[in-house]
Amino acid sequence: MSNNVLTTVTKQMIADCKAEAERAYFARVGGYAEDFQVQPDKHGNYPRKFFRGARVEFTALGVNALLSVMFEKLSEGYKRCDTEATSFGMQHMFYLEKPDSEIQTDLIEVFKEAEAELRARVEQANEAIISDTIAKRKLQVLKEREEAARAADEALEAELEAEVRAALKGAK
């Protein structure tokens, strides 16, 4: 048999996974984007996926609108973040971090998704180990059967040779 051992999800793996998910959550803007962790389709396009993020993008047309939206969102509990604001003529895009209550709600879902993805990866790795072990064991059994058949064939040939020699020597 194989020396491979199936992996089980440990508390440490879950904690590491949640820490990485939290780090990614605080570093990104929420919304739909390409998921680069899966295989692209035949045209090279990556599928789009909804990513939760602590940062929210706002757009305002003009400085007065920018200030109005900024003050309104800050009064709702949004916080400044380190993502740079950009301006294109009169259009301004800026980023704020969600209020703590929204972040806590999002993190519950982010942790569930991260743990589910971890468990799926571990299960997929375990299935690969099982498939590989079955294939190796099958080759081993087929080789043993082939050797046994060869040995039986050689034994039958030796028995028939002895029988024929005895019959032909007795016919003299």
Q: What is the pLDDT of residues 116-162, one digit of tens each?
A: 999 999 999 999 999 999 999 999 999 999 999 999 999 999 999 88
Residue 168 has pLDDT above 90, yes or no: no
> What is the enclosing helix (H) or strand (E) of 81?
none
Nearest to 62 by CA among 36, 31, 94, 30: 94
Q: How far apart are the C-alpha atoms of 97 and 102, rounded to whole Å?
A: 10
Asked if 96 and 80 touch (Cβ cutoff 8 Å), the reply is yes
Give residue 90's pLDDT: 86
Which tokens sit at 95? 């980023």
Rounded to whole angstroms, the Cα distance separating 125 from 121 reads 6
36 or 117, which is more confident?
Answer: 117
Q: What percent of the chain has pLDDT over 70?
A: 97
Provide the pLDDT for residue 44.
87
pLDDT tens for each residue of 89-99 = 888 898 999 99
Which ranges in the chain belong to alpha helices (H)?
Answer: 11-27, 63-75, 100-170
Q: How far apart are CA 146 and CA 144, in angstroms?
A: 5
